Every structure is written in C-alpha cells, then in structure tokens.
C-alpha cells in the first residue's frame, strides 16, 4: 500500500469493544500496542468515470498450507469473548491454519469444521465448530473506489459466508457497515447486499437479494461494490442489483459512509439469521477466495 492515495436480518458484525478510534481487529479484540495508521486507498472521491486502476490486491499466490499474508490480514478470535458475534453464532474463530490457509493453487480457503470444545460459545456451552474471520483493519482500507472478490461459497443449512466491510473509526452502527456479499444456506439461490448505519441497522439494514436462478454454490462468482461520494452500488458478475444514496435512507437518518472502511472475510456457522446446522449440513465447509482487489477510479 506504499505511495497510495489510496434481506432483513440480525446485525452481521458485533463489535462490543469498538472504540471511537478503532485500533484493534474488527470484533472488539484488544491489542497490546496501537496499530500503525492504515494506508488509504483513496484520499478523495474521484469523478464518476467507470475507469479503474488497481491499487491493492491479494491474489493468494503462495505455498499450500501457508497462512494469509500478515501484512494484509488480521484475525478475529473466539465466540463467548465477543457475545457470539452479536448473532448467537456457533463457531469459535481461530488463527489456526486448518481454518484459513492458501491451497497452493492461488486460493485462500476458509474452512469451518466440527471440533471438540475449541472454546466457549455465547451460551456457556462449548462451541461445536471452528472457523476463521480475517480482516484488513489498520492495514488496508478504502474510502472510495471499487472493491471486489471472486469466490466460491459453501452450501448447507446453517452455513453463513460473508465478504463485507466496517468503518475504520467510530462505534457501530455510526461507524457504518457495508455487506458486499452474504449467503445463507437456507436460501441457496440468492446472495444479499446490505448497508447499516444509525437508524437503519440490524434487521432494518437496507439491502436487496440477488437471485441467481440456481444454486449460488455451484460456481465462482465476483462480488463487487463501487463506493463514491453519496453512492454505493452492488454488483454480481458485473451486473448491478442494488444502489444506495442518502435519499434511500429513513427520514432523519445520517449517511455514515464518507470515511475509510476495511475488508472482512469470514465463514460463520449458525446464528439468528441462517439458523443452526442440521443433519443435512456437510462439514467441513470451505469458502474459496480467488482474489480480493481494490481499485481507484480515474
């Protein structure tokens, strides 16, 4: 990042320790020392041109079994420590390579699997699963531009993969949340794009489904947002399906998106929205990420 200027359902990202200035990983985990200032992907809003220049990417090109690049990615950890991530989720997030590693063929693989008591869940019982949630807070962020990932998602009851972003500063929901892609196994033919802010958070988030007309998990797809001043646009495979402007918000609600955001990738199991896994759920479940890219608009 050097030399750069660079629907309705429960809240996707619970951040109980989110302070006025975020200096830890999204999810409220504490750190022992302040993190360095993140490189900004875009310092000011470009004029709309639909001409794009790549300013950052992770192509996940590395040896099989290696973990995500620490220069780009942090880990969120636990479950009970973060109140089930605000959604009564069933997985315990780890930094173990079993849950997030490169496959040696240009893919990041986030794996959710059954586990024997990896740590406590929000309800006091041992969590039954492990998975991973990684993010770029205080390492890579974007204010404006195009942000996208090419991914192949797992399917099954209780499966909940997501590609999303949170405002680098502020307390949720005033910090803002942009869900670039969410998928739940009980609606196998659709993904969802949603925005959250003060007055339109949680179940009142402003979102739309994107109907694929067949199982989402059958193939790779590219999930994108374009973020400009007073505008966010969602795409799947280059086709727009949702657009948000200040005029879209409930009366009196603030537009909270003119600030840097960071990127999050995770694979949750269970929760208020997808429901618990059942006997039909195939585990391990694997979320494949071919690449994540951020562009500025010329």
- The residues assigned a catalytic role are 177, 182
55 and 294 in contact (C-beta within 8 Å)? yes
Question: Cis link prior to 132 (omega < 30° from 0)?
Answer: no
Among residues 42, 75, 72, which one has the least CA distance to residue 291? 72
Strand-pair category, 145-152 with 221-228? antiparallel
CB neighbours of residue 222 within 10 Å? 16
171 and 162 in contact (C-beta within 8 Å)? no
What span, in angstroms and rounded, lies between the C-alpha atoms of 21 and 233? 27
Residues in contact with 91: Cβ distance below 8 Å, sequence separation at least 6, in sequence order: 79, 112, 127, 129, 130, 131, 267, 268, 269, 270
262 and 26 in contact (C-beta within 8 Å)? yes
Question: Cis link prior to 3 (omega < 30° from 0)?
Answer: no
Residues in contact with 289: Cβ distance below 8 Å, sequence separation at least 6, in sequence order: 60, 107, 108, 109, 110, 149, 150, 151, 265
What span, in angstroms and rounded, lies between the C-alpha atoms of 128 and 189? 27
Residue with the two structure tokens 């879209």: 248
């Amino acid at each position: 990042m050097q030399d750069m200027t660079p629907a309705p359902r429960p809240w996707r990202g619970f951040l109980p320790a989110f302070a006025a200035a975020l200096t830890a990983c999204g999810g409220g985990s504490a750190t022992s020392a302040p993190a360095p200032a993140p490189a900004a992907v875009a310092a000011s809003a470009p004029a709309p041109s639909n001409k794009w220049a790549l300013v950052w990417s992770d192509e996940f090109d590395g040896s099989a079994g290696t973990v995500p690049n620490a220069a780009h990615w942090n880990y969120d950890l636990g479950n009970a420590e973060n109140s089930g991530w605000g959604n009564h989720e069933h997985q315990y997030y780890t930094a173990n390579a079993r849950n997030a590693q490169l496959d040696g063929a240009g893919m990041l693989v986030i794996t959710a699997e059954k586990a024997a008591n990896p740590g406590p869940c929000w309800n006091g019982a041992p969590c039954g699963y492990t998975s991973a949630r990684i993010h770029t807070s205080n390492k890579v962020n974007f204010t404006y531009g195009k942000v996208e990932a090419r991914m192949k998602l797992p399917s099954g009851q209780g499966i909940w993969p997501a590609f999303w972003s949170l405002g680098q500063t502020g307390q949720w929901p005033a910090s803002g949340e942009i869900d670039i892609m969410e998928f739940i196994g009980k609606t196998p033919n659709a993904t969802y794009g949603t925005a959250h802010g003060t007055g339109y958070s949680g179940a009142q988030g402003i979102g739309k489904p994107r109907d694929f007309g067949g199982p989402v998990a059958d193939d790779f797809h590219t999930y994108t947002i374009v973020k400009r001043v007073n505008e966010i646009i969602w795409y799947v495979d280059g086709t727009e399906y949702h657009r948000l402007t200040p005029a879209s918000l409930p009366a009196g609600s603030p537009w909270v998106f003119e600030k840097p955001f960071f990127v999050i990738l995770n694979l949750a199991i269970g929760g208020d929205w997808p429901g618990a896994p059942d006997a039909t759920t195939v585990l391990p479940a694997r979320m494949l990420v071919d690449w994540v890219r951020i562009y500025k608009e010329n």
